[in-house]
Amino acid sequence: MDRPSSGVTPPRTTEQQLPGTRPGPEASTDRRCDTAARPQRPRLPETEAALTMRQAVRGWLQRYRPDGPVAVALSGGADSLALTAAAVVEAEAVDALIVDHGLQEGSAAVATEAAALARRLGCRSARISRVSVHGPGGMEAAARRARYDALNRMRDGVPVLFGHTLDDQAETVLLGLARGSGQRSLQGMAEFAEPWGRPLLGVRREATRALCADLGLRPHEDPHNSAPEFTRVRVRTEVLPLLEQVLGGGAAPALARTAAQLREDGEVLDAIAGKLLTDARAGSGLSVEILATAPAAIRRRAIRTWLTEGGAKSLTHKQLRAIEALVTDWRGQGGVAVGGGMPGIRLVAGRERGTLTLAFAR
């Protein structure tokens, strides 16, 4: 049975060549494609998938009310393509931001095709940034850092929307649960953590693929998304399907609901911890006496926020507990090194004269 026509009206201008390159940080290359006038606002077919996607994007825009245009992080995959198609209908204007990690042969062609699709879908511009992936934490972590750095540089002050779906949220929660990462990790991804927005956290992945089919789009299939050496891929293809089978279905929505409930609880606890942090401040340090009298869950939140403000990065559960012990189990122990220092210099949390301190040390 033939699918309905896409309903996407291409701009009447001829397709523009992406202009020449210009250097940027992280050995990146940005290319931008614009037209003098915004393409005619497209129409989507009145299919179930299109309505689902439009309602999700419209609801996000009404909740968070971005002032003016938005950007979409476009990979060329089904989720980001479907998000782009819905966003250009619902938002004032949409810019497509495409990051070429250069990790696969032909990645430049994939990025160029994604930019062309963005223009046909109705984006007012499509911009490509080629980045260099390197650094600690393995390829996944390095690629993520490079991607977010590039998107932040390209976004020109507007919020950036991601195509993360309910299924992605369920995978994130399950991974956090298995790793014992605590409530903050189990909260999953936020709908909006400025400047990053995720309108599709209530939408199943099958809806994004259905909309692409409705529009006659052929999404790019990233081979990394099916590579079993990545833990998330195995959770997606093996663990979650088994969990759905054992529990009789509904596992993914239940995990996503858990994330939403924990996020609501976490916001209340964070507000209380914020007051504790204000009360405990003693110059650049924190009063041990005030921290010691607070409930453990509030105290740890306040300490984590203080450490992050001071430049600490990638805090582990073990580090946070060791720093809390400087307050609750003081035996004269030394300081605790945390991530965030520089080569040859460590960032160390310690205790001096009844005050938690944070300083650089060789």
What confidence score (pLDDT) does residue 140 get?
Answer: 75
* Same domain flag for 196 and 334: no
Largest CA distance in the chain: 77
* Same domain flag for 245 and 288: no
HEC readout, the chain: CCCCCCCCCCCCCCCCCCCCCEEECCCEEEEEEECCCCCCCCCCCCCHHHHHHHHHHHHHHHHHCCCCCEEEECCCCHHHHHHHHHHHHHCCCEEEEEEECCCCCCHHHHHHHHHHHHHHHCCCEEEEEECCCCCCCHHHHHHHHHHHHHHHHHCCCCCEECCCCHHHHHHHHHHHHHCCCCHHHHCCCCCEECCEECCCCCCCHHHHHHHHHHCCCCCCCCHHHHCCCCHHHHHHHHHHHHHHHHHCCCHHHHHHHHHHHHHHHHHHHHHHHHHHHHHHEECCEEEHHHHHCCCHHHHHHHHHHHHHHCCCECCCHHHHHHHHHHHHCCCCCCCEEEEEEECCEEEEEEEECCEEEEEEEC
* Same domain flag for 130 and 220: yes
Residue 276 lies inside a defined structural domain of this protein:
no
Q: Which domain holds residue 290?
A: 283-361
Which of 250, 274, 292 terminates a domain? The answer is 250
Per the annotation, where are the binding residues? Answer: 75-80
Work out the pLDDT band at 310, boundaries 50, 70, 90: very high
Query: Tokens at residue 139, please?
Result: 């390829």
pLDDT in tens, 18-44: 333 333 334 445 666 554 344 556 689
Residue 71 lies inside a defined structural domain of this protein:
yes
What confidence score (pLDDT) does residue 205 get?
Answer: 95
Lowest mean pLDDT among 130-139, 213-222, 274-283: 130-139
Give the residue, 342 or 297, on which the prediction is more confident.
297
What confidence score (pLDDT) does residue 137 get?
Answer: 63
Question: pLDDT above 70 covers what percent of the chain?
Answer: 87
pLDDT exceeds 70 at position 1 = no
Per the annotation, where are the binding residues for ATP? Answer: 75-80
* Same domain flag for 88 and 164: yes
* Same domain flag for 307 and 163: no
* Same domain flag for 305 and 234: no
What confidence score (pLDDT) does residue 14 get?
Answer: 27
What confidence score (pLDDT) does residue 4 get?
Answer: 40
* Same domain flag for 323 and 216: no
* Same domain flag for 287 and 224: no
Q: Find out whether 292 and 327 touch, Cβ atoms under 8 Å.
A: yes
Residue 107 lies inside a defined structural domain of this protein:
yes
* Same domain flag for 138 and 210: yes
pTM: predicted TM-score of the whole model, two decimal places: 0.78
- The stretch 285-295 carries a mean pLDDT of 97
Residue 270 lies inside a defined structural domain of this protein:
no
Work out the pLDDT band at 308, boundaries 50, 70, 90: very high
pLDDT exceeds 90 at position 340 = no
Residue 256 lies inside a defined structural domain of this protein:
no
pLDDT exceeds 50 at position 102 = yes
pLDDT exceeds 80 at position 135 = no
What confidence score (pLDDT) does residue 15 get?
Answer: 31
* Same domain flag for 119 and 161: yes
Which of 250, 273, 296 terminates a domain? The answer is 250
Give the residue, 141 or 39, on which the prediction is more confident.
141
pLDDT in tens, 150-178: 999 999 999 999 999 999 999 999 998 88
Which of 208, 230, 250 terminates a domain? The answer is 250
* Same domain flag for 161 and 103: yes
- The stretch 183-207 carries a mean pLDDT of 93
CA atoms within 13 A on the CB side of 218: 2
Give the residue, 27 or 135, on which the prediction is more confident.
135
Give the residue, 241 or 314, on which the prediction is more confident.
241
Number of domains comprising the chain: 2
* Same domain flag for 201 and 294: no
Residue 176 lies inside a defined structural domain of this protein:
yes
Residue 22 lies inside a defined structural domain of this protein:
no
For position 232, which CATH number holds? 3.40.50.620
What confidence score (pLDDT) does residue 190 get?
Answer: 93
pLDDT in tens, 51-100: 999 999 999 999 999 889 999 999 999 999 999 999 999 999 999 999 99
Residue 18 lies inside a defined structural domain of this protein:
no
What confidence score (pLDDT) does residue 138 get?
Answer: 74
pLDDT in tens, 210-266: 999 999 999 988 777 777 888 889 999 999 999 999 999 999 999 999 999 999 999
